[in-house]
Amino acid sequence: MADLLPPVVTCGEPAGVGPEIAAKAWAALGSALPFAWIGDPRHLPRDTPVAMIEAPASAGAAAAFGLPVLAHPFPAPVRPGAPDPANAAAIVAVIARAVALVQDGQAGAVVTGPIHKKALQDGAGFAFPGHTEYLAALAGGVEVAMMLACASLRVVPVTVHLPLAEVPRALTPARIETALRLTRAALVRDFGIPGPRLAVAGLNPHAGEGGAMGREEIEVIAPVLDRLRAEGFDIAGPLAADSLFHAAARARYDAAVAMYHDQALIPVKTIDFAGGVNVTLGLPFVRTSPDHGTALDIAGRGIADPSSLIAALRLAAKMAAARG
pLDDT at residue number 76: 93
Cβ(26)–Cβ(128) below 8 Å: no
How many CB atoms neighbour CB 298 within 10 A? 16
pLDDT at residue number 52: 98
pLDDT at residue number 271: 95
Convert the pLDDT of each residue in 207-219 to its tens digit: 999 999 999 999 9
pLDDT beyond 50 at 190: yes
Convert the pLDDT of each residue in 129-169 to its tens digit: 889 999 999 999 999 999 999 999 999 999 998 999 999 99
pLDDT beyond 80 at 50: yes
Least confident piece of the model among 2-6, 65-69, 92-96, 275-279 = 2-6
DSSP notation for 128-192: SSSHHHHHHHHTTS---EEEEEETTEEEEESS-SS-GGGHHHH--HHHHHHHHHHHHHHHHHTT-
Least confident piece of the model among 18-32, 92-106, 126-140, 306-320 = 126-140
pLDDT at residue number 4: 83
Convert the pLDDT of each residue in 65-91 to its tens digit: 999 999 999 999 999 999 999 999 999
Report the pLDDT averaged over residues 3-14: 93
Q: Given pLDDT bands bounded at 50, 70 and 90, which one contains residue 1?
A: very low
Sheet with 277-281, side-by-side order of all strands: 50-52, 67-71, 36-39, 8-10, 110-111, 287-290, 277-281, 145-150, 153-157, 255-258, 197-201, 234-239
pLDDT beyond 80 at 3: no
Convert the pLDDT of each residue in 217-271 to its tens digit: 999 999 999 999 999 999 999 999 999 999 999 999 999 999 999 999 999 999 9
pTM of the model: 0.94
DSSP notation for 97-130: HHHHHHHTTS-S-EEPPP--HHHHHHHH---SSS
- In the chain, what are the domains? 1-143+281-324 (3.40.718.10), 152-271 (3.40.718.10)
pLDDT at residue number 161: 85
Rg (CA), the chain: 20
Give the separation between CA 249 and CA 257, rounded to whole angstroms. 14
CA distances from 238 to 149, 216, 256, 303 (A): 21, 10, 11, 42
Report the pLDDT averaged over residues 189-205: 97
pLDDT at residue number 324: 81
pLDDT beyond 60 at 173: yes
